[in-house]
Every structure is written in C-alpha cells, then in structure tokens.
Amino acid sequence: QRSPLAHKVLTKVPSLAQWSKWYKSPLWAKNGHVHTIIASKARRTAAVEYHRTELSTPDGGTLALDRLITVRWGERPSNRQEGVTFVGPASEAWEQQNRNKPFLLLTSGLGGGSHDPYVRSMAASAAAKGWQVGIVNMRSCGGSPVTSARFFSAYRGSTCDVRQALAHCKQHFVAPGTRVAVMGWSNGGTIIN
C-alpha cells in the first residue's frame, strides 16, 4: 500500500518505481567515493555574491547567514574558494522586488559552508527558478567566527541553530504567507529532518 505522497511522486517520476530504470554508473564509477571526488574536482559552478549576517545564539555562539544577492553566470571558477564575493546589504529596491519570492535555506554537509561548489550550484539553480536563497554556515564552519565554547557538532546536532536562522529569514526576508523551504546535504540534511 503506497502513501498518497509516494503515489504522487511515483506518478510524476515513474523511473523511481522500477530498479531497472535507475541510473547505472559505468564500471569505473561504481564506487560512491569516485562520484564525490569527480564532482568536487570537475564541477564548475557559477560565481556568486552573498551578503553575510552574523547571528548571535542564546549561548554566545555565532552563525553566519549568507544571503544570495547575485549569480554571475558567465564566471565559472573551478576552485572551491574562488567564486564567492561578499557584498554589502541588498538595496531597498532589491528587497522589495524579492520579498514575495519563496525562500530556500540551505545547510551544507559536515564542516562545509556557502563557499562549497555544491552549495553554490544549488543556490544558483534555485535563484534561476525564482527563489530567494540563504545559506546557514554553522558554528566555526564556512568562516563563521568562534565565539563560544560550543562548536558545530555532528554528534550534538544543531537543530536549534537552524531553527534560529530560519526564524531570522522568515522575520526579515519574506512576506507573511510566503513559501519557505529548507534543504541540506549529508549531516546538514540530518539536522533539518
């Protein structure tokens, strides 16, 4: 017995319903580690401009919330540190133009941040589809300052930090009733679940 959600998804993506239709890797790329290495070395994603806001947590920690302001599609740097520029706050006109767009908050994998190519790629793709995008850089990750004894921890999880970042985004960046979503990779995906 399929749930209504499973039925809806499988109706729209029938290739998920049969193992025989799933993607088959070439023999040289059967190992998932190979996929990760190739993607990290070969991916060229658009350059981006972020505005960074530092959020203080109740225990004295700091989260770095990076909001996507501009995607520079013509620039596709290969180095993970290249391709990210930090700019000042968005103009009031930009804020008004984007306030009613849906908002997507991204959380990277363990120890990652907004500079990682896979995060920049998703941010740029979501922006191209009409979303506002923010990325939460967890404590001591992605260049966020260390201001408390508590670091980001995969063991402890950081759901309260993501909740705080999301509440900030809802309060400051989106109009009431606007759609908001959160997406994460690896440990970031676990935290938002």
Of 27, 164, 180, residue with least CA distance to 104: 180
pLDDT in tens, 84-105: 888 998 899 999 999 999 999 9
Report the pLDDT value the prediction gives residue 80, as an integer from 0 to 100: 55
77: confidence class by pLDDT, cuts 50, 70, 90: low
81: confidence class by pLDDT, cuts 50, 70, 90: low
What average pLDDT does range 166-175 have in this prediction?
Answer: 95
Q: Which residue has the higher pLDDT, 111 or 53?
A: 53
Q: Does residue 39 carry a pLDDT above 80?
A: no
Report the pLDDT value the prediction gives residue 157, as an integer from 0 to 100: 58
Instruction: Tell me the two tokens of residue 112.
Output: 């990652």
pTM of the model: 0.81
Please name the amino acid found at residue 162: V
> What is the DSSP annotation of the chain?
---HHHHHHHHH-GGGG-GGGS----GGG-SHHHHHHHHHHH----EEEEEEEEEE-TTS-EEEEEEEEEEETT----STTTTEEE--PPPHHHHHHHTTS-EEEEE-STT--TTSHHHHHHHHHHHHTT-EEEEEE-TTSTT----SS----TTT--HHHHHHHHHHHHHHTS-TT--EEEEE-HHHHHHH-
Q: Does residue 121 carry a pLDDT above 80?
A: yes
Instruction: Tell me the two tokens of residue 57.
Output: 């947590």
Report the pLDDT value the prediction gives residue 153, as an integer from 0 to 100: 65
Q: Does residue 72 carry a pLDDT above 70?
A: yes
Q: Does residue 66 carry a pLDDT above 80?
A: yes
pLDDT in tens, 10-37: 888 878 888 887 778 888 888 888 887 8
